[in-house]
Amino acid sequence: MRFFLGIDAGGTKTTAVLAGTNTVLARAHSGSIKVTRNGADAAGKNLAALFADLEQQSGVAATSITSACIGLSGITVPEIAEWARAELRKHLQGSVHLCGDEEIALDAAFHGGPGVLVIAGTGSNVVGRMPQGEIFHLGGWGPVLSDEGSGYWIGLQAARATLQALDRGEPTKLFDEILRLWTISSHTELVEMGNRVPGPDFSQLAPGVSTCAIQGDAVALRVLQEGGSLLGSMAVFALRRLKHTGSLTGDNLPLALTGSVAAHVAPLREALIATVRGSLPEVTVHPEPVDAALGAVWRAQQAVSAH
């Protein structure tokens, strides 16, 4: 039996999926294996933990894996690619394939075909693939300059909106929620925390913003709807670029979403889709946020099929 491994190496966590030809056998999670974030030693330990977890769940030794694919940002940097290949070779004897994390997310949604993918997690961007295979990007210029609708953006905008609501006397549950999440006790401490250099991790606030919005808080809901609208507008631009190739006709204009925010923050996701359909009613939206690790599995399988 052939075994295939897909790894989605995200910025804060790593997900690995072990599969047979048609069946997922195991799924494991660990900390980030990005050497630029954690250092080589910690990244290597997190990768080893993934392999140990997969083997414990499935009974399949890493040396029995036929083909593996890892999606990792920065893979075009020689030092990062060399580290990833060398570290994987400590565990694997089968073929190893390296690609960008956006590529495996696209493959999870479109299996090598054209489409537009909105990535909304800790950061955000929009990535599209043309019918000829060319990949293009919108947004994703980092938390200070861009990353609209991301977890970081949501937290930052929520902190701003909370202070503005306090100025106007507008009631909002966000104030108490931010104090709780940051373990502070006053708006003065909120201001000090928000303006600290280096700044706080605003993405820590995103789950609380989502909770407040679901509970009916108008300020929180406005933040999420604005984030969804901004991402939706970028997606519309990308979809129109894809449409103008003339290769896609009728309702075959595909859009997919991925990332923790896209998966778990319903008000933002709904605003995003509504914005897209308001401009392009013919768009076909993937029914569920896609699992990038499954795109890596698909690519590992295709690598074997091609030979």
| 249 pLDDT more than 60 | no
Which pLDDT tens digit goes with each residue over 80-89?
Answer: 999 999 999 9
Question: What strands, in cross-sheet order, belong to the sheet with 115-120?
Answer: 135-138, 124-129, 115-120, 253-258, 283-285
Residue 290: predicted pLDDT:
93
Percentage with pLDDT > 90 across the chain: 83
Count the neighbouring beta carbons within 10 Å of the beta carbon of residue 57.
Answer: 13
Model pLDDT, residue 248:
62
Measured N-to-C along each axis, helices 174-182 and 206-214 cross at an angle, to the nearest 10 degrees, of 150
The mean per-residue pLDDT over the stretch 189-193 comes to 97
Helices (DSSP H) in 148-257: which residue ranges? Answer: 151-168, 174-182, 187-194, 206-214, 218-243
The answer to whether domain 4-99 and domain 111-289 are alike in fold is yes
Q: Does the pLDDT of residue 173 top 90, yes or no?
A: yes
Q: What is the pLDDT of residues 72-115, one digit of tens each?
A: 988 889 999 999 999 999 999 999 999 998 999 999 999 999 99
Q: Would the pLDDT of 65 be above 70? A: yes
Task: Judge whether 77 and 103 are in contact, CB under 8 Å.
Answer: no
pLDDT(270) > 90 = yes
CA separation (Å) from 156 to 56, 60, 152, 223, 227? 40, 44, 6, 10, 11
pLDDT range class, residue 246, cuts 50, 70, 90 = low
Give the residue-averaged pLDDT of 141-151: 94
Is the entire prediction scored with pTM above 0.85? yes
DSSP 69-134: EEEETTTTSHHHHHHHHHHHHTT--SEEEEE-HHHHHHHHHHTTS-EEEEEESSSEEEEEE-TTS-
Tell me the percentage of the chain whose pLDDT exceeds 70.
97
pLDDT band at 36 (very low <50, low <70, confident <90, very high): confident
Instruction: Give the tokens for residue 3.
Output: 């075994």
Q: Does domain 111-289 have CATH number 3.90.1150.10?
A: no
Range 4-99 classified under CATH 3.30.420.40: yes
71 against 245, higher pLDDT: 71
Q: Indicate the helix (H) or strand (E) that contains 4.
A: strand 4-9
Domain ranges of the chain: 4-99, 111-289
**pLDDT for the residue numbered 35:** 86
- CA dist 75 and 59 (Å) reads 30
The string of DSSP codes covering 254-297 is EEEEESHHHHH-HHHHHHHHHHHHHH-TTEEE-SS---HHHHHH
